[in-house]
């Protein structure tokens, strides 16, 4: 299910969606803010452009909103199950605090999700790119 060739492999591995070999980000650690936004222009192995059009990743903000809401709802449900006597202040402290800590990871994850909406895995992408270069 999460093997090479699946969308989940590309998304959670943050790899090129076409060849699933090259990292999407120059800096793999989401908590190292040096070159936080930096992405290569193209995949060096298959030639896939990572920014399909100008301002392409603005759409990832909507994905980020959905992921954040789903996370906050799951925190709420988990607190209902594990600690039913919680109050609103406790929920807000845990939810907002953890969302701030997860923010950089969610940012990169949502970019990976967004590009995977538009680019599919091609097992022959690397060979095709090498043939074009010859």
Write the pLDDT tens digit of every residue in 84-131. 888 999 999 999 999 999 999 999 999 999 999 999 999 988 888 888
- CB contact at 8 A, 41 and 50: yes
The domains of the chain are located at 7-133
Measured CA to CA, the distance from residue 62 to residue 54 in angstroms comes to 17
Q: How many CA atoms lie within 13 A of 15 on its CB side?
A: 20
> How far, in Å, are 56, 115, 123 from residue 53 at the CA level?
5, 11, 24
Task: Name the pTM for this structure.
Answer: 0.86
- What's the pLDDT at 133? 66
- In the structure, what pLDDT confidence band is assigned to residue 24 with cuts at 50, 70 and 90? very high
Mean pLDDT, rounded, for 48-64: 91
Residue 9, classified by CB atoms within 10 Å of its CB into exposed (0-12), middle (13-18) or buried (19+), is middle
- What's the pLDDT at 55? 86
Measured CA to CA, the distance from residue 17 to residue 11 in angstroms comes to 8
Over 70: is that where the pLDDT of 75 sits? yes
- What's the pLDDT at 19? 94
Q: What is the DSSP letter of 59?
A: G
The two structure tokens encoding residue 42: 């193209």
- In the structure, what pLDDT confidence band is assigned to residue 34 with cuts at 50, 70 and 90? confident
Mean pLDDT, rounded, for 26-52: 87
């Amino acid at each position: 299910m999460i093997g090479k060739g699946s969308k989940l492999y590309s998304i959670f591995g943050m790899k090129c969606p076409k060849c699933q070999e090259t990292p999407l980000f120059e800096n793999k650690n989401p908590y190292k803010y040096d070159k936080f936004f930096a992405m290569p222009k193209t995949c060096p192995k298959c030639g896939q452009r990572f920014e399909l059009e100008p301002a392409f990743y603005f759409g990832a903000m909507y994905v980020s909103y959905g992921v954040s809401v789903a996370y906050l709802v799951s925190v709420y449900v988990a607190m209902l199950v594990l600690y039913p006597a919680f109050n609103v202040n406790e929920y807000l402290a845990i939810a907002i605090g953890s969302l701030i800590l997860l923010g950089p990871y969610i940012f990169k994850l949502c970019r990976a999700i967004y590009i995977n909406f538009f680019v599919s895995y091609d097992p022959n992408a690397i060979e095709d790119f090498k043939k074009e270069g010859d």
